């Protein structure tokens, strides 16, 4: 800026009332009035403290007024809380279209009886033995049923998936199905027959010839009904009765058979609604507890509706309509509203949850037509993990936690249990009848997922060891772990080419990054020998293990390497080798995990890993027979009846 322009600027500032002056200073003395260009520290600090104090007081008042709630109040319109009277008045409502993604749910629980052949003290007996079969859609909503499940821990699952040694006096589960239907118990005794004591013939050759002639002629004339069996056998399009299939009778207890449904590419919904029909008269509290209500919620609902619906039971055919939603910061969905309808779909009562967690009477929601099958809206953005969904489904069907943990452990090495499920994923179980103490033995587990199908069958060795194998005789235990740290971590970066987060270069990411808190234990992915345990450039604190058959695993960015880790030391699968950190070229605490096969890196989450062990060949024939028998039980058609605890 030249001198002329500076003079023009000064003239403009002077005409506007501005003038040059000294800079602000803090030279004002205590108890003296500051000059025009001075600032009082006492005044400045007092102003700041006054503002902070006022803000804190206002925050405290708001917190107390909200009674500690950290989320917004549920809108009155969505809950439709009844305030005018205790009994809602009937009103005309228009039917609404269901625009949210909806999937039919399946929950079959059946008792199947089969004729079983067993040998005891040289005597062969045939008796009818019941089995319990469950076919259910995996839960798409995480409710209070799975609120207190154990945290996902791959090492704990490893311990639960070990073979079980049965005591000598433990009963043996028999699945040797006899090829005919029997009533009661039949004893079969085999005795040798001498050749010189041939039985006396009861039918002569002439009588047999006459019978055959009459049978064949009657098959074509229609006058002889005894020939129908022979004629049927000559017609190709008539399937003969299966001898094995006739060995079963089915007493069903729970069903809602629907095809698999996959929902993709839909927008997320924040509240989901479940529609179900009570299939058998049952206690009100039992039905609610199977559908995400805690005992405290059940008591609150009972107190709210006692003047409108005093009955303690829900009759067969009655309908329930439950609206679920999430509380802030929680993965668990809680029931916000529940409506009861008669068999004729007439509204009986509605309760809604307040911000204090209590249930009060509410107005009837908009009218809908209840489908024949139970359905549930799906919040595709809030689907539970496979781990949580299996627990939710198992507890809903009254399975003990020990059995659920065993089921989860079977697939912990082969499937990523931390991934969210897909709508329509389902599980199948076959169990033995309860013993005197009510214990059931698991015989078969099948998982049908969107991109995988896994089946595991029970096998008991001659030594009394019980383990589960797939149809190829392989166990679910893998040679290496896919997520070798406590809790499994959260997947932050996949294997493959990417832009490096620090250097911004496009290069191959040779492993996967699993984020976790600093200090989280890191486990050895499999049995092996320590190859390196030291600081390695961008990897930071680094451990690599050498395994059998050319496999290697590497663990990087540790905050600390476990004591005793040095080259040549042998480690076992699940042993702690270090702790999560952020050393080296890292943007946050995580584990960089690599798997190498003959020196080449592979995707740890996608590579097909060898099994830990296989079924001995001497059991192969018996095991294949068991598979065929279990598949026949699982494929049997029946007329199911739903239980009320849905």
Which of 267-276, 397-406, 425-434, 576-585 has the lowest average pLDDT? 267-276
Mean pLDDT of 549-553: 88
Residue (of 459, 460, 455) closest to 471 by Cα position = 455
Q: Is the pLDDT of residue 505 over 60?
A: yes
Model-level pTM? Answer: 0.61
**Residues 292 and 335: beta-carbon distance below 8 Å:** yes
CA distances from residue 301 to 81, 107, 544, 603, 629 in whole angstroms, order as listed? 14, 25, 57, 51, 46
List Cβ neighbours of 167 (8 Å cut-off, separation of 6 or more): 464
Taking alpha carbons only, the member of 322, 258, 269 closest to residue 105 is 258
Which carries the bigger pLDDT value, residue 282 or residue 197?
282
For residue 87, what pLDDT is reported?
36
Q: How many C-beta neighbours within 10 Å does residue 377 have?
A: 22
User: What is the DSSP code (8-state) at residue 614?
Assistant: B
Give the residue among 431, 459, 429 at the shortest CA–CA distance from 446.
429
How high is the pLDDT of residue 325? 84
Angle at 421 between CA 631 and CA 101, to 5 degrees: 110
Please list the residues that pair with 544 across neighbouring strands: 532, 554
pLDDT in tens, 26-35: 555 555 555 5
- For 213, counting Cβ atoms within 10 Å of its Cβ (0-12 exposed, 13-18 middle, 19+ buried), the class is exposed
36 burial level (CB within 10 Å; 0-12, 13-18, 19+): exposed
Q: List phi, psi (to 5°) of 287.
A: -65, -45
DSSP state of 386: H
Task: Kindly state the percentage of the chain with pLDDT values over 70.
Answer: 71
pLDDT beyond 60 at 21: yes
State pLDDT tens for residues 291-343: 888 899 999 999 999 888 888 889 888 999 999 887 766 778 889 999 999 98
Task: In whole angstroms, give the CA distance from residue 132 to residue 434.
Answer: 9
pLDDT given for residue 351 in this prediction = 92
Contact assessment for residue 508 and residue 496, using Cβ atoms and an 8 Å cutoff: yes
Mean predicted lDDT score pLDDT of the chain: 77
Question: What local confidence, expressed as pLDDT, does residue 101 receive?
Answer: 60
Q: Say what the pLDDT of residue 193 is.
A: 65
pLDDT (tens digit, 9 = 90+) per residue, 172-228?
A: 666 666 555 666 667 766 667 666 666 677 777 788 887 777 777 665 554 444 444
| Higher pLDDT among residues 508 and 332, named by residue | 508
Check whether 513 has a pLDDT greater than 70. yes
Q: Does residue 108 or residue 36 have the better pLDDT?
A: 108
* Confidence at residue 637, expressed as pLDDT on a 0 to 100 scale: 66
Winning range, highest mean pLDDT, from 3-7, 61-65, 94-98, 532-536: 532-536
Residue 141 burial class via C-beta count within 10 angstroms: exposed 0-12, middle 13-18, buried 19 and up:
buried
pLDDT band at 588 (very low <50, low <70, confident <90, very high): very high
Q: How far from the centroid of its chain's Cα atoms is residue 49's Cα?
A: 52
Pick from 146, 144, 398: which is nearest to 296 by CA?
A: 144
**What pLDDT, on a 0 to 100 scale, did the predictor assign at position 641?**
41
Residue 514, pLDDT score: 93
Name the phi and psi angles at 125, rounded to 5: -125, 145
Q: Tell me, what's the pLDDT at 121? A: 64
Task: Tell me the average pLDDT across 406-415.
Answer: 82
* Residue 449 CB neighbours (<10 A): 18
Euclidean distance between CA atoms 119 and 297, whole angstroms? 52
């Amino acid at each position: 800026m030249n001198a002329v322009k500076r003079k023009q600027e000064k003239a403009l500032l002077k005409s506007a009332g501005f003038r040059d002056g000294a800079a602000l200073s803090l030279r004002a003395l205590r108890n003296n009035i500051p000059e025009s260009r001075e600032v009082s520290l006492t005044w400045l600090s007092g102003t700041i403290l006054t503002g902070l104090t006022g803000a804190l007081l206002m925050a405290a008042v708001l917190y107390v007024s909200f009674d500690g709630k950290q989320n917004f109040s549920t809108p009155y319109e969505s809950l439709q809380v009844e305030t005018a009277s205790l009994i809602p008045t009937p009103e005309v409502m228009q039917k609404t279209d269901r625009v949210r993604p909806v999937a039919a749910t399946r929950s079959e629980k059946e008792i199947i009886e089969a004729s079983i052949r067993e040998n005891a003290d040289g005597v062969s007996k045939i008796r009818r033995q019941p089995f319990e079969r469950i076919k259910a859609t995996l839960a798409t909503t995480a409710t209070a049923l799975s609120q207190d499940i154990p945290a996902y821990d791959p090492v704990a699952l490893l311990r639960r998936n070990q073979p079980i040694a049965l005591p000598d006096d433990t009963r043996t589960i028999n699945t040797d199905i006899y090829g005919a239907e029997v009533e009661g118990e039949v004893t079969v005794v085999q005795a040798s027959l001498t050749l010189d004591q041939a039985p006396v013939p009861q039918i002569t050759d002439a009588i047999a010839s006459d019978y055959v002639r009459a049978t064949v002629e009657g098959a074509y004339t229609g006058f002889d009904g005894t020939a129908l069996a022979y004629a049927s056998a000559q017609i190709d399009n008539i399937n003969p009765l299966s001898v094995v299939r006739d060995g079963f009778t089915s007493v069903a207890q729970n069903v809602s058979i629907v095809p698999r449904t996959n929902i993709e590419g839909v927008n997320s919904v924040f509240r989901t609604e479940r529609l179900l029909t009570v299939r058998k008269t049952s206690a009100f509290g039992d039905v609610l507890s199977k559908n995400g209500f805690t005992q405290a919620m059940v008591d609150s609902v009972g107190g709210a509706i006692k003047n409108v619906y005093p009955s303690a039971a829900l009759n067969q055919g009655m309908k329930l309509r439950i609206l679920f939603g999430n509380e802030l910061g929680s993965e668990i969905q809680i029931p916000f509203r529940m409506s009861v309808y008669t068999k004729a779909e007439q509204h009986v009562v509605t309760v809604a949850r307040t911000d204090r967690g209590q249930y009060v009477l509410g107005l009837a929601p908009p009218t809908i037509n209840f489908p024949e099958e139970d359905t549930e809206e799906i919040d595709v953005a809030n689907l539970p993990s496979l781990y949580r969904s299996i627990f939710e489904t198992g507890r809903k069907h009254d399975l003990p936690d020990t059995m659920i943990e065993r089921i989860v452990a079977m697939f912990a090495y082969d499937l990523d249990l931390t991934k969210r499920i897909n709508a329509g994923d389902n599980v199948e179980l076959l169990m033995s009848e309860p013993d005197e103490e009510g214990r059931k033995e698991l015989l078969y587990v099948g998982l049908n997922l969107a991109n995988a199908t896994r089946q595991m069958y029970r096998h008991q060795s001659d030594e009394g060891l019980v383990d589960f194998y797939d149809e190829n005789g392989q166990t679910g235990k893998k040679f290496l772990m896919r997520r070798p740290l406590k809790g499994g971590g959260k997947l932050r970066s996949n294997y493959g080419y990417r832009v490096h987060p620090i250097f911004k270069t496009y290069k191959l990411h040779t492993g996967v990054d699993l984020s976790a808190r600093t200090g989280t234990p890191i486990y050895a992915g499999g049995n092996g020998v320590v190859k390196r345990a030291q600081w390695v450039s961008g990897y930071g604190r680094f451990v690599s293990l050498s395994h059998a058959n050319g496999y290697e695993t590497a663990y990087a960015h540790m905050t600390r390497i476990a004591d005793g880790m040095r080259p040549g030391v042998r480690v076992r699968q699940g042993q702690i080798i270090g702790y999560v950190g952020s050393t080296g070229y890292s943007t946050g605490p995580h584990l960089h995990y690599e798997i190498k096969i003959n020196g080449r890196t592979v995707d740890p989450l996608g590579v097909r890993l060898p099994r830990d062990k296989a079924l001995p060949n001497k059991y192969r024939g018996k095991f294949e027979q068991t598979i065929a028998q279990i598949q026949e039980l699982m494929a049997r058609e029946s007329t199911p009846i739903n239980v009320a605890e849905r």
